[in-house]
Each structure stands twice: as structure tokens, then as C-alpha cells.
Structure 1
Amino acid sequence: MKKILVATSVIGLLAASCTPKAVATATTTTNPIKSTEAQIAQGKLAFENSCGKCHKLPDPASHTAVEWVGIMNSMAPKAKLTEEQHQWVYDYIVSAK
């Protein structure tokens, strides 16, 4: 009886692990921008002045919004951006595409 119970459990686990899982995806209606138009304008200025101080400014369309998260997370501290400025610059970049 125990062998049947164990075999049934193993088969159930294998069947469950082979079924496709639901994948969460962002919809086109999701808006990652959290800043106002005035804040985005400040983000553009910070992007041009802070980022452009050290290197040529990249084209905002050269990366996806997700890629920009990593880039911004590594570059914002170097540019000495505040958390607000970091958000504003990110929102400017993803809205400028």
C-alpha cells in the first residue's frame, strides 16, 4: 500500500512540474512613469547636466526601460543624484523614446 501511495505522489509531482506556469508580463497599459511633467523636465536637465558632464549622452531609445533601471542604478550614485533626481531622470529617459 505504501508503494502505491509513494508512486502516486511521485507521479503527481512529476505531472505538476511539467505543466506550464503562468508568466507575469507587463501590459502596454502599465505606466512606469511616476513623475509629473515638471519633474520630467527637471530630469531632462539633470540628465543633460549631470550625466553629460562625464560622458556623451546615450540615446534614450538605445535601451529598454528595464535595461535603464540597471544603468541608472549604477550611474546615479556616480552622478550624485538624489533619489528624487534619480526617479526624474529615469522617467525622462523612458518617456523620451
Structure 2
Amino acid sequence: MKLRILSAVFAAALLTACSSSKSASVASATPAAPANPTVELTPELAEGKNLYENSCARCHKLYEPTKFSKEDWQPILVRMQKKAKLDDVKMASIINYIHSQL
């Protein structure tokens, strides 16, 4: 009897968790879609995007470039360059990509 109750509670918790994460992903995907769709990525900007996604996502979630202004991004990027151990060339690529999306 206890096993059936625990199974039912677990199933209900799993269904609740799955349904709320779907609605959260839909809500977060909606604002990201209109974020400057006309900007084509040149090979240099694509490299910056790749560096941003691969270097920054190792430690934390990625923020949309439009979440912050250029002025807000500056201290964040300086601090993260040291933590991610990125050289100035790679950091310039990331900065160019982020600025192109603003």
C-alpha cells in the first residue's frame, strides 16, 4: 500500500515538474525570438557566438545578448574573461558578437 502511494506521489510530482518546465521554456523562448532577427552572422560573428556559447555555458546559463546594454555587458565580460581564461582575441570576438546583437 505504501509503495502505491509513493508511486502515485512520485508520478504526480514528475508530471507537475514536466508540465511547468514546458510552460517556462515556451515563455522564455517567446521573448528571445524577436531579438534582432535581421542581423546575419558573418564568419567572424559566428566564431564569437560559438566562443560565447562554449566558453560561458561551461559554468552558467547563457544570457541573451539583449538582456543587458553595452554598458552593462562591459564589466561582466571583463570579469568573465579572467574566469574563463580567454585571451584578448577570443574576448574581442565574443564582444563583437554580443554588440552585433544589441
* TM-score of the pair, normalised by structure 1: 0.59
Map of 1:45 onto structure 2: 50
SS at match of 1:77: helix
Using the alignment, how far apart are the partners of 2:71 and 2:82 within structure 1?
18
Shift of 1:38: 2.2
Using the alignment, how far apart are the partners of 1:52 and 1:70 within structure 2?
18
For residues 35-86 of structure 1, the C-alpha deviation after alignment (integer angstroms, 9 at most, x for no partner) is xx32221110010000011100011111111111111000011111110111
Amino acid at match of 1:89: I
Map of 1:10 onto structure 2: none
SS at match of 2:66: helix
- The alignment yields a C-alpha RMSD, in angstroms, of 1.5
Using the alignment, how far apart are the partners of 1:38 and 1:92 within structure 2?
10
Structure (1 or 2) with the larger CA radius of gyration: 1
1:83 aligns with 2:88: yes
1:67 aligns with 2:85: no
Map of 1:96 onto structure 2: 101
Q: What is the number of residues matched between the two proteins? A: 62
**Runs of 4+ off more than 4 Å:** none
Q: What are the ranges of 5 or more consecutive residues in structure 1 without an aligned counterpart?
A: 1-36
